Amino acid sequence: MRRNWEALANAIVSQAVTDYRIARYMARVYRYRETSRAIIREVEHFFRSRWFNQLTDIDGKALIRNLREEDVWTFKNT
Protein backbone atom coordinates (compact mmCIF):
# COMPACT_ATOMS: atom_id res chain seq x y z
CA MET A 1 0.00 0.00 0.00
CA ARG A 2 2.89 2.35 0.73
CA ARG A 3 4.09 2.10 -2.87
CA ASN A 4 0.73 3.31 -4.11
CA TRP A 5 0.96 6.48 -2.04
CA GLU A 6 4.55 7.06 -3.13
CA ALA A 7 3.57 6.60 -6.78
CA LEU A 8 0.73 9.07 -6.36
CA ALA A 9 2.99 11.61 -4.63
CA ASN A 10 5.59 11.26 -7.38
CA ALA A 11 2.93 11.70 -10.06
CA ILE A 12 1.62 14.89 -8.40
CA VAL A 13 5.10 16.41 -8.18
CA SER A 14 5.97 15.32 -11.71
CA GLN A 15 2.78 16.89 -13.10
CA ALA A 16 3.49 20.15 -11.25
CA VAL A 17 6.97 20.28 -12.81
CA THR A 18 5.51 19.64 -16.27
CA ASP A 19 2.85 22.32 -15.76
CA TYR A 20 5.52 24.78 -14.64
CA ARG A 21 7.68 24.12 -17.69
CA ILE A 22 4.76 24.47 -20.07
CA ALA A 23 3.63 27.70 -18.42
CA ARG A 24 7.13 29.19 -18.70
CA TYR A 25 7.30 28.24 -22.36
CA MET A 26 3.81 29.62 -23.07
CA ALA A 27 4.62 32.86 -21.26
CA ARG A 28 7.56 33.47 -23.57
CA VAL A 29 6.20 32.27 -26.86
CA TYR A 30 2.49 32.93 -26.97
CA ARG A 31 0.04 35.57 -25.88
CA TYR A 32 -1.09 33.66 -22.81
CA ARG A 33 1.24 35.57 -20.56
CA GLU A 34 -1.21 36.44 -17.78
CA THR A 35 -2.63 32.94 -17.57
CA SER A 36 0.85 31.43 -17.71
CA ARG A 37 2.15 33.74 -15.01
CA ALA A 38 -0.77 32.79 -12.78
CA ILE A 39 0.05 29.11 -13.27
CA ILE A 40 3.73 29.78 -12.52
CA ARG A 41 2.80 31.57 -9.28
CA GLU A 42 0.41 28.80 -8.28
CA VAL A 43 2.95 26.03 -8.90
CA GLU A 44 5.70 27.93 -7.07
CA HIS A 45 3.31 28.34 -4.14
CA PHE A 46 2.74 24.57 -4.21
CA PHE A 47 6.51 23.91 -4.24
CA ARG A 48 6.85 26.01 -1.07
CA SER A 49 3.85 24.48 0.68
CA ARG A 50 3.60 22.07 3.58
CA TRP A 51 1.72 19.65 1.37
CA PHE A 52 4.68 19.53 -1.04
CA ASN A 53 6.97 18.83 1.91
CA GLN A 54 4.70 15.97 2.97
CA LEU A 55 4.72 14.48 -0.53
CA THR A 56 8.47 14.53 -1.07
CA ASP A 57 11.87 15.17 0.46
CA ILE A 58 12.80 17.52 -2.39
CA ASP A 59 13.69 21.08 -1.39
CA GLY A 60 10.96 23.13 -3.07
CA LYS A 61 12.97 26.35 -3.19
CA ALA A 62 15.90 24.57 -4.81
CA LEU A 63 13.53 22.98 -7.31
CA ILE A 64 12.19 26.40 -8.26
CA ARG A 65 15.74 27.71 -8.74
CA ASN A 66 16.63 24.74 -10.93
CA LEU A 67 13.50 25.09 -13.02
CA ARG A 68 14.09 28.83 -13.49
CA GLU A 69 17.61 28.10 -14.72
CA GLU A 70 16.39 25.66 -17.35
CA ASP A 71 16.34 26.84 -20.91
CA VAL A 72 12.65 26.94 -21.81
CA TRP A 73 13.51 26.45 -25.47
CA THR A 74 14.88 22.97 -24.80
CA PHE A 75 11.50 21.97 -23.36
CA LYS A 76 9.95 22.44 -26.81
CA ASN A 77 12.32 19.87 -28.30
CA THR A 78 11.70 17.13 -25.73
Q: What is the pLDDT of residue 2?
A: 72
Instruction: Count up the domains in the chain and report the number.
Output: 1
Q: What is the pLDDT of residue 73?
A: 62
The parent domain of residue 46 ranges over 2-76
For 58-68, write each residue's pLDDT tens digit: 999 999 999 99
Cα distance between residue 65 and residue 61, in whole Å: 6
CB contact set of 69 (below 8 Å; sequence gap of 6+):
none
Cα distance between residue 23 and residue 39, in whole Å: 6
pTM: 0.84
